[in-house]
Every structure is written in C-alpha cells, then in structure tokens.
Amino acid sequence: NAGVTQTPKFRILKIGQSMTLQCTQDMNHNYMYWYRQDPGMGLKLIYYSVGAGITDKGEVPNGYNVSRSTTEDFPLRLELAAPSQTSVYFCASSYYQARTEAFFGQGTRLTVV
Amino acid sequence: TQLLEQSPQFLSIQEGENLTVYCNSSSVFSSLQWYRQEPGEGPVLLVTVVTGGEVKKLKRLTFQFGDARKDSSLHITAAQPGDTGLYLCAGLGRFGAGTRLTVKP
C-alpha cells in the first residue's frame, strides 16, 4: 500500500499566485486532514473532512480551500499566495477521528516569495 | 490559545538520563495520542491512551493518561541519541506545539 501520497514535494510560488496541493490515500479512511507546520513548531489544522462531500474548518483555514469529491482525494487550494503561507504542509488520514492512528504524507515544502 | 499545551518546549539531555514531557488541556479527551516526528518526515504514531489512569509502556517509553483524561505524560528511561526528535501529543485531530528533544552522546 502507498498510504498517503502528497504532491508536489517542493514548490516556490510568487505572491498572488495560486496552486493546489494534492493528497490521495489508498486505505479507505473516512477522515482526512490538512496541517501546516511552521519551522520548529507543531502542526496546525487547516481543514478536515469526515467523508466524501463533507469538509470543515480547522484552526487556521483563512487563505485556503478544500474539496472532497471522493474518499481517496483531498486537495488543498491556495488562491492568492502570501508570504505568511510559507510552511510545510502535511496531509493525513485516519479511519476515525479519535482512538485511531493518523497516517501522514511526506509533506510539501512551500515557499512564497 | 492551544487546545493542548506541551512542556517543556525544548529539552537537551545527555545519553542515559531520564526525562518526562507533559501534555495538558482544560478539555476532556476520549483518547490522546503521542507521535514522534523526525526532520523532513511526517509524524509517526507511538501510542494511543484511552482510559483515565492508563499506563502504557513501549520499551523505554512510558505513557500515562491522567485520571480526568485532560493530561498525559511521556517518560523516557535511559535516553538514547536515537530518541532525538519532536514529540507531539494529539487529540481529535488537534496537535500540541511539541517538545523538541535532543539526546547528546
């Protein structure tokens, strides 16, 4: 099994550009999450989804959008990139929200200049 | 305000020493999880604690869930350089800021 796959691994964006970070999982998990991790810090929840067609805001949703059209895919969209969005982004999935392990992708390192 | 507060933020010790790191919240959790993250990688689950007062051991690591299910601790006995990393507690998809542990040979 591939687990959770994120693309791209690295990206440099100019201020005002837009991009989509891709995330796919092959474990048939209900829950999927997007986090950002700033240098030396923990993970902040951006958005999460409890299943196809259902998404909800996390702690830091401003400047981002998500969709969940299938169980497998959970893309994160940045519409107008800002320097404050420079971070490492992790996608994760789990079967339930509590008591079950969340599996993480390898991360996307995004720099906005 | 963090839902889960972790302390200390940084910890640097010599090989062979013991240490304890803490995860505290004002909220009650049905379970808490501990993850370890190494540079350039995503977090990897160490343990899930579910029952108030529960103690789980993973080799030299001992995890405890508070009786009121609002806090948890991780104790490492005889730390090794391989224990170096960022230790994160998590509940309901939310993470604490982590404790960055460095174990010097």
For A14-23, the pLDDT digits (tens) are 999 999 999 9
Q: Which of A41, A48, A107 sits opposite B97 (nearest CB)?
A: A41
Smallest CA–CA distance, residue A85 to chain B, in Å, is: 18
Cβ-based contacts of B85 with chain A (< 8 Å): none
Are A77 and A13 within 8 A, CB to CB?
Answer: no
pLDDT at B92: 86
Chain B CB contacts of A102 under 8 Å are 33, 43, 45, 90, 93
Q: Report the pLDDT averaged over residues B51-67.
A: 96
Nearest in space to A59 (alpha carbons), one of A79, A69, A44: A44
Q: Which member of A42, A43, A98 has the closest CB to residue B92?
A: A98
Identity of the residue in A40, A48, A107 whose CB atom sits nearest the CB atom of B93: A48
pLDDT computed for residue B8 by the predictor = 97
Q: For residue A4, which residues of chain B lie inside 8 Å, CB to CB?
A: 42
Give contacts of B 56-95 with A, CB under 8 A: 86, 88, 90-95
Q: What secondary structure, in 3-state letters, does chain A show?
A: CCCEEEECCEEEECCCCCEEEEEEECCCCCEEEEEEECCCCCEEEEEEEEECCEEEECCCCCCEEECCCCCCECCEEECCCCHHHCEEEEEEEECCCCCCCCEECCCEEEEEC
Q: Are B63 and B2 in contact (CB under 8 A)?
A: no
Between A12 and B93, name the one with better pLDDT. Answer: A12
Best CA proximity match to A102, nearest among B94, B16, B61, B17: B94
Over residues A90-106, the pLDDT tens digits come to: 999 998 877 678 899 99
Give the pLDDT score at B40. 87
Using an 8 Å Cβ cutoff, are B18 and B78 in contact? yes
Q: What is the mean pLDDT of residues A65-79?
A: 96
> In angstroms, what separates the C-alpha of B8 from chain A's closest C-alpha?
13
Does A1 have pLDDT greater than 70?
A: no
HEC string of chain B? CCCCEEECCEEEEECCCCEEEEEECCCCCCCEEEEEECCCCCCEEEEEECCCCCEEEECCEEEEECCCCCEEEEEECCCCHHHCEEEEEEECCEECCCEEEEEEC
* Whether B48 contacts chain A with CB within 8 A: yes
Residue A98 near residue B94, CB atoms below 8 Å: no
Q: Give the pLDDT confidence score for residue B1 in this predicted structure.
A: 60
Tell if the CB–CB gap between A43 and B92 is shorter than 8 Å.
no
Contact present, A51 and A33 (Cβ < 8 Å) = no
Give the pLDDT of residue A78: 96
